[in-house]
Amino acid sequence: MSKQERIKILDVPVDMVNMKQASRRFLDLMETPECSLIVTPNSEIIVNATKDPELKKIIESADLIIPDGIGLVYASRIVNCPLEERVTGFDFLTEILKLLDERGQSIFLLGSKPEDEENPGVAEYAGYKMKKQFPNLRIAGTHHGYFNSEDEAAIVEKINSSGADFLCVAMGAPKQEKFIANHQKELKVKAAIGVGGSLDVWAGTVKLAPDFYRNHGLEWLYRLVKQPSRYKRMAALPVFMVRVLTERRKKK
Ligand code: UDP
């Protein structure tokens, strides 16, 4: 991707891609031999990246940086490089599943809660649901996202020996991005993405916001109503907008 198609918001890069362009880019990355990194920053992740140099570096090194969230679309207008649309991590993952299904390729699902006495592991159940919707997709393996750093080598080995073409990591940011970046050289998958809570949505443990909220870019409001304990994290959106406006004023 050329530098011109990559804009900066609070000095953090974001690719100017709509869903169609992102999908095309994904297919290109699946043709390259080394493991490519796909990240899906939203306003909260961009603000965190301004305070976490390791996260910022990882985003800068990514092969595809998806604009996940309406905050980024508004910010892009403020910096005079308007993004056409937001591409949510969940929607992009669904598009990826469709493309993998068309090609009969496989995915490894890493992250979310392990099984307990009453429920299967979230990743395992998400895989079952994905397979129902995309019958040609192969689920190469699953593993929950609650492990210590000493377990990481064994998990990388499990992913590699599964022969998966693609890796989906759902452990929340920046954990998922750091896991992929730390093991990118050893991973034998063609590409890997961090998708936050998307496996929970697939498994049905968390509900996707209804269409009204999604169509108006109001997923954050829906999540705030459903999970009020997240209010501190939600504060990232206004903080983000104020910072983008302040930076813009400084540059004028
Ligand atoms: N998670 C995990 N390991 C951890 C912490 C979180 O696998 O050590 C999972 C958690 O179970 C959830 C996902 O990470 O499925 C993402 O959570 P969150 O809603 O915070 O992500 P967001 O979409 O907001 O980035």
Q: pLDDT (tens digit, 9 = 90+) per residue, 102-143? A: 999 999 999 999 999 989 999 999 999 999 999 999 999 999
* 173 Cβ inside 6 Å of ligand 1: yes
Output the pLDDT for position 35.
98
pLDDT band at 91 (very low <50, low <70, confident <90, very high): very high
The ligand 1 atom nearest the CA atom of 171: 14
Instruction: Name which residue sits closest to atom 1 of ligand 1, judged by CA.
Output: 171
Report percent pLDDT > 70 for the chain: 98
**110 C-alpha to ligand 1 centroid (Å):** 11
pLDDT band at 225; cut points 50, 70, 90: confident
Cβ–ligand 1 distance for 197 under 6 Å, the answer yes
b/e per residue 70-98 (b: at least 16 CB within 10 A): bbbbbbbeeeebebeebbbbbbbbbbbbe
Residues belonging to the chain? 252
Per-residue pLDDT tens digits for 162-206: 999 999 999 999 999 999 999 999 999 999 999 999 999 999 988
User: Tokens 């192969």 map to which residue?
Assistant: 138
Question: What rounded mean pLDDT belongs to the chain?
Answer: 93
- For residue 3, name the pLDDT band (cuts at 50, 70, 90): very low
Q: Which residue has the tokens 């940086």?
A: 65
| pLDDT tens digits for range 38-82 | 999 999 999 999 999 999 999 999 999 999 989 999 999 999 999
Backbone phi, psi, residue 72, to 5°: -70, -35
Whether residue 2 has pLDDT greater than 80: no
- What pLDDT is recorded for position 64? 98
Of 90, 112, 206, the one to substitute when testing ligand 1's pocket (max ligand atoms within 8 A of C-beta) is 112
Whole-number pLDDT of residue 207: 78
Question: Considering the chain, what percentage of its residues have pLDDT values greater than 90?
Answer: 79
Q: Whose CA is nearest to atom 6 of ligand 1?
A: 171
- The pLDDT score that the predictor gives to residue 220 is 79
Q: How far is the CA of 112 from the centre of ligand 1 (A)?
A: 6
Q: Is 114 in the pocket of ligand 1 (CB under 6 A)?
A: no
- State in Å, rounded, how far the first CA of the chain is from the last one: 29
Ligand 1 centroid–CA 209 distance in Å is 17
Question: Is the per-residue pLDDT at 152 higher than 90?
Answer: yes
What is the structure's pLDDT at 87? Answer: 96
**What is the CA(106)–ligand 1 centre distance, in A?**
23
